[in-house]
Amino acid sequence: MTSPDVLIVGAGQAAAVAARALREGGFRGGITMVGRERHKPYERPPLSKAVLVAAEEPRLDVLPQEVWALGDIDLLNGSDAVDLDVAKRQIRLASGQVLAYDMCLLATGGEPNALASAPAGHPHMHYMRTLEDARRLRVALHGKPQVAILGGGFLGLEIAHAAMFMGASVTVFERATSLLDRFLPPDASMWLESGLREAGARLLLGASLGGIHSLPGGRIRLATDTGDLDVDEVVVAIGLSPNDSLARDAGLAIAAGGGVLVDALCRTSDERVFACGDCTSQQRPGQAAPMRLESWQNANDQARTAAAAMLGVPIPVPAVPWFWTDQGKHNIQMLGLPALDLDYLRRGDPASGKALWIGHRGGVPLHGVALNAGADLRAIRPLFEKRLPVQLDDFLLDATNLRAWARQIQAGAAAIV
């Protein structure tokens, strides 16, 4: 039995960044990383984008080769952790191997929500979480198939654009009557919708799906309230569930909405167990309850926070949530968190291909949305960090230099106090 000092369960983005942050922070003990997949940690954002469409698969490694070459991070990949015993401070793997720890970091990620009628093992049914998932869909897209995408969220729509780029004909089913209406102001949602239709996608919004049936010959029939649709491939993209069962079974606190409950230090209800990334739920400023945040940035930031907490050094200042999605040739970014009661102001016209929204409550910028305007959103980020009321009139004027405007506000000149 080995006795690693830090045992990281999971080998994705958060796990890799945490391991590196521990070493960069001077940690001298052992680091063992246990991963279910047979890969070194890799970046997942390209799976629904470049991996599907690029002529050559892009490099996806989270950590450069030099880091692995140092040999001070042990990676047990292809290994599934099946039991966490916080009293004995050990993890048991599916192989029966037991690993002891001084501190444990859960970076177990999430699992795509599944439809019983779309089994993952079916040759023409697809989910999207792993590199294997993406490679399999990529191969399928080369036949320019008819594709049904179940779920019109960020992931489903990225896949829709990629599939169309590859020459597939695409139908998107979405239960809601508008796209991404929890995240985008209505005019941004409308722009996204018309862009997809113009690119050739068929959108079935407000759709209810009756059943999914395999037909003789390999095609798949979707029964809908507007008739049957036969397709070659089905992609299910209806959200992610946190992999929190290891923690749950170990008796650690789990948030009401799922996810390993962590405090501001990314510590779980056991003082020697930390958690980071998609598997967690955490209380955030201005939010009524702990929430899950499935994003690349959150995986990185929580990993650095957990590493700092394990090292006993001050944690990094929590960043304002930031998210990007590449929708075909368009880049959409969001800063902060949406809420139903925000008022949105828009600068620029989506029809021109570039626009920026500030969602505010009483003049306090809380949610920024950028359509091909990432640098502009970046320039006004300090306003979202401060959470102070701002005179927003100048934001709407074309003549306003946003960076200068944000600086002026930071200097206190335009803040309403």
Partner 1 sequence: MEWIKVASAQELSNDEAKTVNVAGQGVALFRIEDEFFATDGMCTHATALLSEGYVEDGCVECPLHQGRFDIRTGKAMCAPVTVDLRTHPVKREGDDIYVLSPRAQ
Q: Which residues bind partner 1 (CB under 8 A)?
A: 17, 43, 45, 50, 59, 61-62, 64, 296, 300, 322, 324, 326, 331, 373-375, 378-379
With respect to partner 1, which residue has the nearer C-beta, 82 or 319?
A: 319
Cα 343 from Cα 402, distance rounded (Å): 19
Smallest distance from partner 1 to CB 62, Å: 7
Smallest distance from partner 1 to CB 217, Å: 39
With respect to partner 1, which residue has the nearer C-beta, 58 or 123?
A: 58
With respect to partner 1, which residue has the nearer C-beta, 12 or 259?
A: 12
**Helix (H/G/I), strand (E/B), else coil: 95:** coil
Smallest distance from partner 1 to CB 251, Å: 34
With respect to partner 1, which residue has the nearer C-beta, 7 or 17?
A: 17
With respect to partner 1, which residue has the nearer C-beta, 66 or 271?
A: 66
Smallest distance from partner 1 to CB 378, Å: 4
Closest C-alpha among 115, 109, 139 to residue 127: 115
With respect to partner 1, which residue has the nearer C-beta, 68 or 248?
A: 68
With respect to partner 1, which residue has the nearer C-beta, 25 or 45?
A: 45
> Edge-to-edge strands of the sheet including 233-236?
125-126, 233-236, 146-150, 169-174, 202-205
Closest C-alpha among 2, 7, 22 to residue 85: 7
Smallest distance from partner 1 to CB 324, Å: 6
Q: In terms of C-beta density within 10 A (0-12 exposed, 13-18 middle, 19 or more buried), how is residue 368 classed?
A: buried
Smallest distance from partner 1 to CB 101, Å: 26
Half-sphere exposure of 102 (CA within 13 A, CB side): 11
With respect to partner 1, which residue has the nearer C-beta, 28 or 59?
A: 59
Smallest distance from partner 1 to CB 121, Å: 32
With respect to partner 1, which residue has the nearer C-beta, 64 or 211?
A: 64
Cα 298 from Cα 386, distance rounded (Å): 19
Provide the β-strand partners of residue 210.
Answer: none
With respect to partner 1, which residue has the nearer C-beta, 203 or 371?
A: 371
Smallest distance from partner 1 to CB 344, Å: 21
Cα 72 from Cα 49, distance rounded (Å): 32
Question: What is the DSSP secondary-structure string of 189-228?
Answer: HHHHHHHHHHTT-EEEET--EEEEEEPTTS-EEEEETTEE
Smallest distance from partner 1 to CB 130, Å: 18
Cα 295 from Cα 301, distance rounded (Å): 10
Q: What does each C-alpha distance from 170 to 146, 177, 229, 342 come to in angstroms?
A: 6, 18, 12, 33
Q: How far is CA 296 from the centre of its chain?
A: 5
Q: How far is CA 348 from the centre of its chain?
A: 27
Smallest distance from partner 1 to CB 360, Å: 22
Helix H or strand E encompassing 140: helix 131-141
With respect to partner 1, which residue has the nearer C-beta, 53 or 190?
A: 53
Q: Which residues contact 96 (CB under 8 A, 6 or more apart)?
A: none
Smallest distance from partner 1 to CB 94, Å: 31
- The answer to whether 291 touches 237, Cβ cutoff 8 Å, is no
- The answer to whether 10 touches 35, Cβ cutoff 8 Å, is yes
Q: What interhelical angle do 13-24 and 296-311 show, nearest 10?
A: 40
